[in-house]
């Protein structure tokens, strides 16, 4: 009986579903997979080529003094500077200070931004009242707040304040627009089945806004890093921003450029983590 139930009729043939499931992929599918692999390799190789060309042009321009190496340094001088900073322990300490402040500012901005956006979605009256204030706060140059944060929070915590100030208002507006973009028919259907406002938010709005939340994550991590660096320029005594500012004041451009390269690597790694998170959530909410 089990064997009889495990087969199915397809046209004039009797096909075992297990055999169908384990059948080899079609030649067209294999060709498509091979083409996708070649495309990914070509993209990676082109990226590396562009980076190599940029470094080579930078090196040649500085070595031939077409640009002043005192003002730009050159790639071959960065590796010794990197090793020197690494041996002294300065690079690890300053990198960790910047990374820690960025992650804390990023987490605070996302938590505050998502909570406020949910509150605005919950109450249309609150959204109407607060909308112009949010627009004005987002448009203000945040660097003007550095002295205030320094007085209020001190040299250490003012960096976190700048990270949140730069990232949070954009986060609120982006996430709120994502909440508003949810299909109203889905909200109406959930309400018809007796869902409360909180259940609609938790079961319909938040899962439906995953692409918007991912976009906010990508944007927020960069804005938080910008806020941290601005804060370190103005008031900190540690961090890559402090290292850049200190190196520029004594014309040690090797240190400045090394810190900038580390910042670029840090940004790339954080973006890669969010991209992996995006891929995982896309599979779950597809």
Give which of 220, 278, 233 is closest to 260, Cα–Cα. 233
Cα separation of 59 and 24, whole Å?
Answer: 52
Q: What is the pLDDT of residues 201-226, one digit of tens each?
A: 888 888 888 888 888 888 888 889 98
pLDDT at position 102: 92
Angle between helix axes 124-139 and 90-122 (nearest 10 degrees) is 150
Q: Is the model's pLDDT at 162 over the cut of 60? A: yes
Q: Is the model's pLDDT at 9 over the cut of 70? A: no
User: E-assigned strands of the chain?
Assistant: 8-10, 13-15
Give which of 153, 41, 59 is closest to 108, Cα–Cα. 153
| Cα separation values, 219 from 53, 58, 222, Å | 28, 29, 6
Determine contact, residues 138/169, Cβ cutoff 8 Å.
yes
Q: Indicate the range of 73-87, 89-103, 272-286 predicted with least confidence.
A: 272-286
Average pLDDT over residues 91-112: 90
| Cα separation values, 173 from 3, 113, 169, 229, Å | 59, 8, 6, 23
Would you state the structure tokens that stand for residue 263, as one six-digit string? 């910042």
pLDDT at position 285: 62
Q: Is the model's pLDDT at 84 over the cut of 80? A: yes
């Amino acid at each position: 009986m089990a064997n009889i139930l495990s087969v199915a009729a397809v046209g004039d043939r009797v096909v075992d579903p297990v055999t169908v499931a384990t059948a080899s992929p079609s030649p067209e599918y294999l060709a498509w997979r091979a083409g996708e692999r070649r495309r990914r390799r070509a993209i990676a190789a082109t990226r590396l080529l562009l980076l190599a060309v940029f470094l080579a042009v930078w090196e040649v321009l500085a070595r031939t003094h077409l640009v002043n190496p005192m003002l730009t340094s050159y790639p071959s001088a960065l590796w010794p500077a990197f090793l020197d900073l690494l041996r002294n322990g300065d690079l690890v300490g300053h990198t960790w200070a910047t990374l820690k402040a960025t992650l804390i500012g990023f987490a605070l901005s996302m938590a505050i931004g998502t909570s406020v956006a949910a509150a605005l979605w919950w109450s249309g009256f609150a959204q109407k009242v607060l909308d112009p204030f949010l627009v004005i706060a987002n448009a203000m140059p945040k660097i003007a707040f550095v002295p205030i944060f320094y007085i209020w929070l001190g040299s250490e915590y003012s960096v976190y304040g700048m990270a949140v100030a730069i990232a949070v208002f954009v986060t609120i507006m982006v996430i709120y627009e994502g909440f508003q973009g949810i299909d109203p028919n889905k909200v109406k259907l959930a309400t018809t089945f007796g869902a409360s406002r909180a259940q609609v938010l938790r079961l319909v709005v938040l899962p439906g806004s995953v692409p918007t939340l991912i976009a906010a994550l990508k944007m927020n991590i960069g804005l938080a890093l910008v806020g941290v660096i601005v804060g370190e320029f103005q008031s900190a005594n540690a961090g890559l921003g402090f290292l850049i500012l200190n190196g520029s004041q004594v014309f040690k451009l090797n240190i400045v450029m090394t810190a900038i390269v580390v910042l670029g690597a840090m940004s790339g790694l954080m973006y890669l983590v969010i991209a992996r998170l995006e891929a995982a959530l896309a599979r779950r909410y597809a």
